Amino acid sequence: MISLTLDELARAVSGTLHLADGDTPETTVSGAVDTDSRLIEPGGVFVAKPGDTTDGHRFVDAAVERGAVLAIVEHVVDAAVSQVVVADAVAALADLAREVVARVRAGGGIRVVGITGSNGKTTTKNMLARILQDEGETVAPRASFNNEVGAPLTMLRVTHDTRFLVSEFGASAPGEIARLAGLVEPDIAVVLMVGLAHAGGFGGIDSTVEAKSELVRAMRPGGIAVLNADDARVAGMAPLAAEKSATVRWFGRGERADVRADEVEVTPDGTRSTVVVGGERHELRLKVLGEHHVMNALAAIATAMALGVSAADAIARLETLELAERWRMQPLGSDRVRIINDAYNASPDSMGAALRTLAQITRPGERMVAVLGAMSELGEFAGEEHDRIGELAVRLRIPRIVIIGRDARRMYLAAVGEGSWSDEAVFFETADEAYDYLMGELRDGDRVLVKSSNSAGLRFLGDRLGESFS
């Protein structure tokens, strides 16, 4: 975090300052901000956030032991550290992020990018960060830090030397993206796609469109909107960009796109495509698995070009990216039994894309195995969408379909109903049961996809299988 006096910080969060011995209102703090006492470093600021299962106020002493010099709290705690008392710790975190980014902006030089979409946010964020880091200091979220806590924590990592802030904005209800993006008013708003991910929280696809469009509405006047030309719902946000006097840059597979791809080929070693920009053709060889990641790469390239990076440089840097993110199409195991662990998030779109990737990378003589769990937050669409994925697995002629967990049982029943027979599709209540089955079932030449939402916990099963067959 940039340097602030205790008084400046208290004013920024509308809090009341309680000084510890030796501190004054002019004492400065500049350490990292965190809500996890275990991650506090010397000079850091600890935000005591109340939680569902515990209360951050219980860990103020632990944060002080690790070197915290300030705690943001909702009530005074008996601890030897200066404290700023606020009405709402999470709201204070957002207010502090707004203040810090505003001060860095006032110094000039920083450009802010906001990314949203039903799928692909984290991969695109990582791709763009990889491109931009060669241009100058780049701050981007760790993992999927895209909610009311993670997004401000990322923003607070900027310094006066930061050239690029890449923010990832997720949401499970209307208004969340507007609040988070409103903290920084991005110069560039990137909308990847609109699908059924989290549709249950939004109340339907139309509300999801409205929620994702909040990012375009929140960007700075005269900015740039980077939009998916192939997604009609995203393309429909162009008039909102016009209202902000913003330029639209299109990415996609079709001729309309400013940055487009053709000749896409998925192999066990990665994904190849030809990127077309302004009539020039560039070969792109991603080490990341999956045809769907080409669209993420196009979005990253289009955004980087809007920031002054050439297409050739952007592509060359993308080709060095080894992995999109842990648990996202992550290759594990060995050539003998390859495990693809993609069980951090799942929606109908990403589930279908992962299954199609499995089919594309499995060569003659090898066997496809799909290990699938529930897709969360689909609301009223959950039943039919789980049915659809079970049916798709059979239509792709996947000979072993392993379904895990009660919330995914309809996927198993749909696979059976679609024509899976002779134990091609099996169901297990727990991941441990599935692991025992798979250890006896998997054989040389198997290509195994492990895919589910985070809540299903199958990412740990994927890790376990990867270690067993490494």
- The binding site for ATP consists of 117-123
Element (H, E) at 218: helix 205-218
Tokens encoding 201: 């929280």
In three-state secondary structure terms, 88 is: coil
Q: Which residues are known binding-site members?
A: 117-123
Distance CA 115, CA 189 (A): 6
Tokens encoding 440: 């006896």
Distance CA 311, CA 304 (A): 8
Do 329 and 350 meet the contact criterion of CB atoms below 8 Å apart? no
Query: For the chain, how far is it from start to end, CA to CA, in angstroms?
Result: 41
Other CB atoms within 10 A of residue 44 CB = 23
Q: What angle do CA 124, 285, 335 make, to 5 degrees?
A: 100
Distance CA 214, CA 399 (A): 43
Do 368 and 362 meet the contact criterion of CB atoms below 8 Å apart? yes
Distance CA 127, CA 247 (A): 22
Query: Please, which residues bridge with residue 58 across strands?
Result: none
* DSSP for 313-374, written as a single string: HHHHHHTT---SBTTBSEEEE-SSEEEEEE-S---HHHHHHHHHHHHHHPPTT-EEEEEE-P
Q: What is the distance, to the nearest Å, from the Cα of residue 339 to the centroid of all Cα atoms in its chain?
A: 22
Distance CA 274, CA 453 (A): 31
CA pseudo-torsion sign 173, 87, 28, 82 = negative
Element (H, E) at 249: strand 247-252
Element (H, E) at 94: helix 89-106
> Going along 307-465, which residue ranges are E strands?
330-333, 337-342, 367-372, 400-404, 425-428, 446-451
Is residue 401 classed exposed, middle or buried when 0-12, 13-18 and 19+ CB atoms within 10 A define those classes? Answer: buried
Query: Please, which residues bridge with residue 248 across strands?
Result: 225
